[in-house]
Amino acid sequence: MRNLVKSVLIGALLFAAVGCVTDAGKPLDEHRLVVGVTAGPHEQIMEKVKEVAAKDGLDIDIKVFNDYPMVNVALAEGELDVNSFQHEPYLEQMKKDKNLDLVAVADTVNFPMGIYSKRIKDLKQLKKGDKIGLPNDPTNGARALLLFDQAGLIKLKKGIGIKATVKDIVENPLDLELVELEAAQIPRQLDEFAAAAINTNFAVEHGLLPTRDAIYMEPKDSPWVNVLAVRTENKDDPVIQKLIKAYHSEEVKRFVEETFKGSVVPSW
């Protein structure tokens, strides 16, 4: 009897363990993918990808998020099969910070970061001590600092690259006050700054067109290319290749070029 009870308990524990396996441990459905995106251009582009993929027998269920970190967490936990919203430096930083087993499988588009202002029309109009906004996450913060350096507002430590932080500023001629905020909040608080660096997806979401409204922009050949990301276990799955084929289609490329008119650039 004692052995029987022991066996039943072990069986129950094993059943419970199996029952707790998340979707992250399941193979992907060959006909359907759940794709996470951020609101704005990524969502618009994925809607077009969905239309193209449907012709190839692939159904895409699009889940829209309003902040960056949760999209990777949702992918890692199995709520999503793929996400499309970030450049690779951001993905690598998130993987390191949160110990996520994710990998980039394809380039998508590039969103040149811009500097925006409601007070000035040219960076030469900035005054001593003005407040400048920038994203507070490590990768987009570094990207903004490199943009400020390129624009001549500050000078960064030589060779610091994508690891730059405000501590790496070696020259700040106007003694600008750099204020770090959540990337999604910056467009909402643009009035509080003389100027601010804003990611294109958040700029567009708030009615700002980079080619029209930015007073300074990254070049179109910027290295900050966005990617499709998946759990590492799914990187070679045939259905992922089907998604990439749809995304990299001429139809999607034309859609991006005609819809965003240079504010979003195809990277394939």
Per-residue pLDDT, 221: 67
Which pLDDT belongs to residue 24? 63
Distances (CA, A) of 179 to 55, 143, 190: 47, 14, 11
Q: How far is CA 263 from CA 109, 204, 241, in A?
A: 10, 9, 27
pLDDT at 139: 85
* φ, ψ dihedrals at 121, nearest 5°: -110, -10
Long-range pairs for 138-142 at CB < 8 Å and ≥24 separation? Answer: 138/93, 138/165, 139/87, 139/89, 139/90, 139/92, 139/93, 140/90, 140/113, 140/183, 140/199, 141/165, 141/166, 141/180, 142/89
Tell me the pairing of strands 225-231 and 102-110.
antiparallel
For 136, other C-beta atoms within 10 Å of its C-beta total 15
Predicted local confidence at residue 27, as pLDDT: 81
Query: How high is the pLDDT of residue 20?
Result: 34
pLDDT tens digit sequence for 139-191: 899 999 999 999 999 999 999 988 899 999 999 999 999 999 999 999 999 99
Please say whether the beta carbons of 76 and 97 come within 8 A: no
Residue 69 CA to its chain's centroid (Å):
9
Give me the residues of the chain with pLDDT under 70, please: 1-26, 220-221
The model's pLDDT over 240-263, given as tens digits with 9 standing for 90+, comes to: 999 999 999 999 999 999 999 888
